A and B are shown apart, each in its own frame.
Chain A
Amino acid sequence: MTKQITLTIDEKQVTVPQGTLVVDAAKKIGIDIPVFCYHPKMEPVGMCRMCLVEVGRPVIDRTTGQAVLEADGTPKVQFGPKLETACTLPVSEGMVVVGMSDKVKAARKDVVEFLLTSHPLDCPVCDKGGECPLQNLTMAHGVGESRFNYDEKMHLAKHVPLGELIFLDRERCIQCGRCVRFQAEVVDDPVIGFYQRGRAIQIATFSEPGFDSYFSGNTTDICPVGALTTADFRFGARPWEMRATASICAQCPVGCNITFNIRREAKSDGEIVIKRTMPRQNEQVNETWICDKGRFAYHFTEGKERLTAPLIRRGDDLTPVSWDEAIEFVAQALRDAGSDLLTLASGRLSNEDLFNLRSLSDAFNGKTALYTHMAGGDLTAQVGVGQGTNFADLGAGSVILVVASDLEEEAPIWWLRVKQAAERGATLIVANPRPTKTDRYASQKIRYAYGNEAATVLAMINALSAKRPELPGKVQATAEIKNAAETIKNAENVIALFGSEGLGLEGSAALAQACANLLLVTNHTGRANNGLIGVWPRANEQGAWDMGLRPAADLKAALAAAKMVYVAAADPLGDDPALAATLGEVPFMVVQELYLTETAKLADVVLPALPFTEREGSFTSGERRVQRFYPAVLPRPQARPDYAITGEIARKAGVDAETDSAARVMGRIAASLPDYAGIHYRRLAQVQEQWPIVGRGDLYYGGTGYENKQGLGVQLAPAAQQGQAPALTWPQVAEIAVPEGSLLAVPVTVLYDQGITVSTSPLLQTRIPQPYLTVCPAEAQRLNAEAGDLVQVSLGEQAVKVTLRVDENIPAGVALAPRSLGLPIFAPAAIQVRVAQKATV
């Protein structure tokens, strides 16, 4: 254990671990030492000089090594001649810190006066006004009048776009460097930096497009002035005019805790609307950060085109009807279809919705299918990470294995957490066919060919264990694989993250099994900080598996066999036009959606659902943390929460179901699923004190993110932790055969895609690429194509035109097809590519 140090700050004694900085030690006992440049999550730099304090240290007799005592027996304390910065000063035994003396007060007064020499009197028009550390600390420590000449204030550019998302006001910047340090230290995207010197120093971006980082929005939270603001919120409202509601980000399986700031507005026709998204602190999930997708891509819930009434097909048209009529109609169809029902739902829905859908389907002995391209959720429920897992606890002695995942694109905050663990000394092993940003922190890198994901992990087991599964000849236990296997075997903690880079359902199922086996063989399951995590494509995919939904191995066949299909929060036709014929022949289709999707256009009944911002519910994150979200804005009239729609259909059809509140559905979940036993909404809303302190009174310290008052969630225990050891089963590893003259197209995930949850955000529009396909230079040469050419991709009977990109890091014979970007490729597939139109130079 770290040595504990006792010191005195403003006459209060505090004991903190060795290495703690004085400013943090003071904060822990409620003493505020003002700071601008210091941030508890970054290395101190002592640039702003706001945290000056008087420091005294006990006098040690050099001959005896003993503390010199005063006449009254107390240790003699010698104060330094100058003030010291509390943010760069680690505590030492017997230290005496004085932060309230006249000398300190005078110094702080001067620092504030100096910071304001060129700060504009902008507070009335500044977006930070009202939640501005400089404003607050000036009120607390500054003088009323400045001795500096008002006319000497520098007049600088007030609207410098650092890219489309973040704007810089050069005048307001106090050169604390928090943003520059955040980008360089915390997220390792050093795309902004200081330019010039002294009074002329300014923040500049040197990336193309500007401020090209998935984490850029966080700089506006930690900026102690209004120099960096988001384009989304620019002049949107004053901070005191908005109310805050807690929510959970619905974009990826990390489950970042967020806060929606809401306000009733005239320009939104008097509706209550979301004005901005801010991080909500949960040190076990997202700390105080969120990614830009989470921050800016909530607009999909606000579309004007959202469904406004239940629709029933009359002839060729979908006609609005009353809810009673629609529900009666669906219930009748259910009774007719009986066990020929197929329920298709995606992980975009909450646990409650999925549970009700599953219950309804089970009552009729129908089938359920999870709409996804990734499998393995049953394994994460068995050998998933143990209760109490926190990436922040991983350091030396821990191993994080990332297989087949471009983590930053698939789950940016996990990337950040994994990166930080690696910096603390954890061994990061990255196995991926091509280099990704995760490689920068990898201690060990394993490259394999697309298609050999599971085999590579199995080869690790082969290197360790006698239980040798059969492997394709191509995969050999290389030195890297053996080394990685040894590292994993000897590690104290191992967390394995598997993604879906280049994988479809079959491949990811095999990979998940292989990873689970590796963890079982090396005995890294059933404990905190050990286990398997799926980097799912959707926020609540883990919850969907837990609720008992499983993907259909052959969706087309399952759809064709059903007499009634109940689709919720999925758009199979929009994603894959090849399903048109199959879906067109489904005798009766119900679609429960926000928008009139391609699938909904073919439906017999369309039911308008509510997005997560307008209702209550819970998501289960990839780390199997059940977290609760609250309604932020009023529900649109006529639309209903998914669980209520399903519940009412069930009741009408004679099945017992909860419809009134999500909390009661959760009660049923807890009663029927052993893993969720004991979970209830009040428990999900419990909080405890977190460090560092952020929000309101302490926004100068931790930033303007919100403190968590609405619940940290509850992490579930996997089966392995409950004493049930899952059996080892060996996956079949199939080799993919690619015909001569074809390329192997593999699906990969990109953060900003054309899915409806991103494309509706006006701000991210410019960051969403046009549909493209990436190949290596040799392959491009073979195709006689160059980057930027329009190529025709033939896939079975379909042909799609996309732009060609060339990347030298991609293996030969392979083309990367980004998901949800125009190409209907869900699993590795052979494609033919030819140039359709040369790029105009």
Chain B
Amino acid sequence: MGAIKEIARGMWTTLSMMFEKPVTIQYPEVKRPVHARFKGRHELHRYENGLEKCIGCALCAAACPADAIFVESAENTDEVRYSPGERYASTYEINFLRCIFCGYCEDACPTEAIVLGDNYELSFTSRREAIYPKEMLLTPVPEGGKPTPQTVEPGFFTRSIPVMQNPTD
């Protein structure tokens, strides 16, 4: 008698769930939205004029506990300018096999250039492929901006570090 009661209760649960909204989604056709501070694949951001925010200071590489970031820097000129100020990253690589997505790089960045984005779809078929160079990490040039390197007005972009506010989100 007891067994029948238990089965009926189980079946009731199953029946009632059929009318609930499903928790599964049709990935990859449908994607779940991520939280504002989600830590996905890194992006190197640009200013509105297209200049790179990254100044090649390598503080992200210094902060990285997994030694996943490699930076080499070089000097900007007004004829060949990648970023404001004197210095830019001539090489910027992140090894995603090493990265633990802790976000320390984002914390260390003095220009808010490196931001852990929303992209969590990372898959590689070789170790080499897991190393993302600067071209793959940079965000597209915003509308109205120009791609880097740019030739700019002499003596205009002299500051490496912009004036920044505390994050609001």
Contact = CB atoms under 8 A, between A and B. Distances in A.
Interface of A: 121-122, 124-125, 129, 155, 158-159, 234-235, 237-238, 240-241, 265-267
B106 to A, nearest CB: 14
B129 interface: no
A266 B70 contact: yes
Given A124-B55, A241-B58, A267 B72 contact: yes
Interface in B63-102: 70, 72-75, 85-87, 90-91, 93
A124 B60 CA distance: 10
A269 to B, nearest CB: 12
B61 A235 contact: no
A705 to B, nearest CB: 23
Nearest to B89: A235
A267 to B, nearest CB: 6
A241 B85 contact: no
B117 interface: no
B72 A125 contact: no
3 shortest A-B CB distances, which residue pairs? A124-B57, A125-B87, A124-B110
Contacts of B151: none
Contacts of A240: 62
Contacts of A121: 161
Given A122-B161, A267-B91, A235 B74 contact: yes
A273 to B, nearest CB: 11
25 contacts: A121-B161, A122-B160, A124-B57, A124-B160, A125-B55, A125-B56, A125-B86, A158-B86, A159-B86, A234-B75, A235-B56, A235-B73, A235-B75, A235-B86, A235-B87, A238-B58, A241-B58, A241-B61, A241-B62, A266-B70, A266-B72, A266-B91, A267-B72, A267-B90, A267-B91
Contacts of A122: 160-161
A125 B62 contact: no
Contacts of B91: 266-267
Contacts of B161: 121-122, 124-125
A124 B111 CA distance: 9
A136 B111 CA distance: 22
A555 B123 CA distance: 68
Q: Which of A129, A155, A238 has the most CB of B within 10 A?
A: A238
A786 B116 CA distance: 68
Contacts of B87: 125, 235
Given A238-B62, A265-B72, A267-B91, 18 more contacts: A121-B161, A124-B110, A125-B56, A125-B57, A125-B86, A155-B158, A158-B158, A159-B86, A235-B56, A235-B74, A235-B75, A235-B86, A235-B87, A237-B58, A238-B58, A240-B62, A266-B72, A266-B91
B59 interface: yes
A124 B61 CA distance: 12
Nearest to B133: A266
B75 A266 contact: no
A124 B86 contact: no
Contacts of B110: 124
A155 B85 CA distance: 13
Nearest to A130: B62
B159 to A, nearest CB: 8
Nearest to A265: B72
Interface string B133-169: 0000000000000000000000000101100000000
A820 to B, nearest CB: 32
A121 B85 CA distance: 12
A171 to B, nearest CB: 10
A271 to B, nearest CB: 13
Q: How large is the interface on B (under 10, 10 to 19, 20 to 34, 35 or more residues)?
A: 20 to 34
Contacts of A158: 86, 158
A155 B160 CA distance: 13
Contact of B160 (A125, A237, A238, A265): A125
Nearest to B111: A124
A238 B71 CA distance: 10
A693 to B, nearest CB: 26
A241 B93 CA distance: 15
A165 to B, nearest CB: 16
Contacts of B90: 267
Contacts of A241: 58, 61-62
A124 B71 CA distance: 13
Nearest to A263: B72
Contacts of A238: 57-58, 62
Contacts of A129: 57
B98 to A, nearest CB: 16
A380 B87 CA distance: 51
A732 to B, nearest CB: 59
A266 B93 contact: yes
Nearest to A235: B73
A173 to B, nearest CB: 16
Contacts of B158: 155, 158
A234 B160 CA distance: 15
A679 B91 CA distance: 46
Contacts of B56: 125, 235
A591 to B, nearest CB: 37
B59 A124 contact: yes
Contacts of A124: 55, 57, 59, 110-111, 160-161
A542 to B, nearest CB: 41
A266 B92 CA distance: 10
A153 B93 CA distance: 35
Nearest to B59: A124
Nearest to B70: A266
Contacts of B70: 266
B83 to A, nearest CB: 10
Contacts of B59: 124
A238 B87 CA distance: 12
Contacts of A234: 75
Contacts of B93: 266
A422 B127 CA distance: 63
Nearest to A236: B73
Contacts of B72: 237, 265-267
A240 B108 CA distance: 15
A248 B91 CA distance: 32
B161 to A, nearest CB: 6
The CB with the most chain A CB atoms within 10 A, among B70, B72, B74, B85, is that of B72
B36 to A, nearest CB: 26
Nearest to B161: A121
A159 B110 CA distance: 21
Contacts of A267: 72, 90-91
Nearest to A267: B72
A267 B111 CA distance: 24
A122 B90 CA distance: 19
B62 to A, nearest CB: 6
A225 to B, nearest CB: 16
Contacts of A235: 56, 73-75, 86-87
Contacts of B111: 124
A158 B55 CA distance: 15
A274 to B, nearest CB: 15
A266 B85 CA distance: 23
B111 to A, nearest CB: 8
Max chain B CB contacts within 10 Å: which of A122, A158, A159? A122
A234 B58 CA distance: 14
Nearest to A124: B57
Nearest to A231: B75
A235 B58 CA distance: 11
Nearest to A234: B75
Contacts of A265: 72
A131 to B, nearest CB: 13
B109 to A, nearest CB: 9
A125 B59 CA distance: 10
Contacts of A266: 70, 72, 91, 93
A696 B91 CA distance: 28
Contacts of A237: 58, 72
A293 B87 CA distance: 27
Among A122, A124, A155, find the residue whose CB has the most chain B CB atoms closer than 10 A.
A124
A42 to B, nearest CB: 30
